[in-house]
Structure 1
Amino acid sequence: MYNKILLPVDLNHKQSWDKALPTALNLCQTYQASLHIVTVVPDFGMPLVGGFFPREYADQAKKTISDGLKAFVAEHVPKGVKVQRIVADGKAYEAILRVARKLDVDLIVMASHKRKRLEDYLLGTNALRVVQQSKRSVMIIR
C-alpha cells in the first residue's frame, strides 16, 4: 500500500517525532516501505535579515543539522529500515510539500501539537497547511 513514507522532524522538539516516528517505522516495516526523514532549516524571511549573517552561516547550519539528523537516524531507526535523510530549507510546510512532491511519496506522517492561536489549536500551523495543501495522503499523529 505504501512504498515511500515521509516523516518531518524537528530535532530540537521531541514532540515532533516522539509519537510519529514509531508509527512511521511500523508502517515501513509492515509495507516494506522506505522512510524519508526531512528536517527543515528555516529561512530568515527577509533578505534584509539574512544580510546580518555571514555568507557561510547557512552552509554551516545545514551541515550541523545534517550531522544531527545522521545521529538521530543511527539512534532511532532500526537497521532493517531503508532510510533517507533530507535537510531542506525554507518555511517548514512549504519544504515538506516540496520534498513530498520531489520524492513522490505515498504518505506523509507527521506530529501535531497544540499552539496558542485558536485556529491552530487542533492541528498546529505546519500540520494544518500540509493537510490543506498536500496532494498526498497525510497521517497526523497526536
Structure 2
Amino acid sequence: MSVSVLCAVDISNRDQDVGVLRQAARMADLDSARLDVMTVLPDFGETWVSGFFEKDHHDKAIEAAHAQLVRLCTETLGEERNASIRHVVATGTAYKEILKVADAARSDLIVVGAHKPDLRDYLLGPNASRVVRHAPVSVFVVRG
C-alpha cells in the first residue's frame, strides 16, 4: 500500500512522459496516495558554463519548468486532479535528485519512464536504471 507516489518526468520529452504520468496517477489513485510529480533541470551554476548565463537565469529556468510541469499535469490529468499534485522542480543529476526527493517526501513508490535506451544500458535508460539500482523503495518503470 502506497501513501506517497513520486513520478519523475522529463519536461523536454513532453509527449513521451504522458504515459508515465498517467500510470503514476493510476497507481496513486489505487491507494488514495499523494502524487508528487517532479522534473530535474541540469545544474549549470557550478561550472564554467554558468558564466555564459545571466545571474537570474536559474531562477527563470525553475519558474518556466514549474509552469511547464503544471501544464503537463493539467493537460494530462485534468485541473481537478492537478490541484492535489505537488509539483517539484529540482536541479542537478536526474537520478540523484529523484532519489533525494523520494527520500524527503517519504515516497513509497517511484514511477519513471525508460525512453530511447542504448544497448549498453541493457534496454533501460541510464537514469531509470540508476534509480532502480539505488532506490530504497519500489520503482515502477514505464516503457515508452
**TM-score, with length taken from structure 1:** 0.90
User: Superposition pairs for residues 21-32 of structure 1, below 5 Å?
Assistant: 21-32=21-32
Residue identity over aligned pairs, in percent, reads 36
Q: Out of 83-92 and 64-73, give the one that drifted further.
A: 64-73
| Aligned position for 2:70 | 70
Pairs aligned (count) = 141
Residue aligned with 2:102, SS: helix
Shift of 1:114: 2.9
CA RMSD of aligned residues (A): 1.7
8 Å contact from structure 1 (residues 114, 121) kept in 2: no
8 Å contact from structure 1 (residues 15, 111) kept in 2: no
| Aligned position for 2:17 | 17
Shift of 1:109: 0.7
8 Å contact from structure 1 (residues 114, 120) kept in 2: no
| Aligned position for 2:137 | 136
User: Superposition pairs for residues 70-109 of structure 1, below 5 Å?
Assistant: 70-78=70-78, 79-80=80-81, 82-109=84-111
Shift of 1:121: 3.8
Gaps of 5+ in 1: none
For residues 108 and 139 of structure 2, what CA distance do their matches in structure 1 show?
A: 9
Residue aligned with 2:24, SS: helix
| Aligned position for 1:122 | 123
Shift of 1:62: 0.5
**TM-score, with length taken from structure 2:** 0.89
- AA in 2 matched with 1:71: R
Residue aligned with 2:139, SS: strand
For residues 45 and 95 of structure 1, what CA distance do their matches in structure 2 show?
A: 16
CA distances 1:41-97 after superposition (whole Å, capped 9, x unpaired): 111285211122111110111111111112122222242473110011101111101
CA distances 1:102-139 after superposition (whole Å, capped 9, x unpaired): 101000011102333x3214111100111111111101
For residues 56 and 80 of structure 1, what CA distance do their matches in structure 2 show?
A: 32
Between structures 1 and 2, the one with greater helix share: 2
Q: Does 1:35 align with 2:25?
A: no
Q: Out of 90-99 and 45-54, give the one that drifted further.
A: 45-54
8 Å contact from structure 2 (residues 5, 24) kept in 1: yes
For residues 141 and 63 of structure 2, what CA distance do their matches in structure 1 show?
A: 29
For residues 123 and 15 of structure 1, what CA distance do their matches in structure 2 show?
A: 19
Gaps of 5+ in 2: none
CA distances 1:18-58 after superposition (whole Å, capped 9, x unpaired): 32222111112211011100011111285211122111110
